[in-house]
């Protein structure tokens, strides 16, 4: 198996995972004010969304690499 086909397979798996999960979220902590020993902070939940069209495009590119990646000439 060539490197191109391995990359194609990884792209296909990543695209399927992107469609399956739809994205992820994380909590970001920002410090707003610090007055002596007292510290005020704000925790913000941020979402990262994977567009469905991007996941499908990754699957298509991965499939093309898998099919055409090993051909010579």
Q: Is 15 exposed, middle or buried (0-12, 13-18, 19+ CB in 10 A)?
A: buried
Encoding tokens for residue 34? 């610090």
pLDDT at 47 over 70: yes
Closest CA to 48 of 66, 22, 73, 23: 23
> Taking residues 48-61, what's their average pLDDT?
93
- Concatenated DSSP letters for 15-66? HHHHHHH-EEEEEEEEEEEEETTEEEEEEEEEEEE--HHHHHHHHHHHHHHH
Q: What confidence score (pLDDT) does residue 73 get?
A: 56
């Amino acid at each position: 198996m060539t490197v191109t086909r391995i990359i194609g397979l990884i792209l296909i798996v990543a695209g399927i995972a992107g469609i399956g999960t739809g994205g992820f979220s994380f909590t970001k902590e920002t410090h707003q004010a610090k007055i002596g020993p007292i510290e005020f902070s704000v925790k913000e939940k941020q979402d990262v969304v994977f567009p469905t069209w991007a996941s499908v495009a990754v699957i298509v590119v991965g499939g093309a690499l898998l099919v055409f990646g090993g051909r010579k000439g």
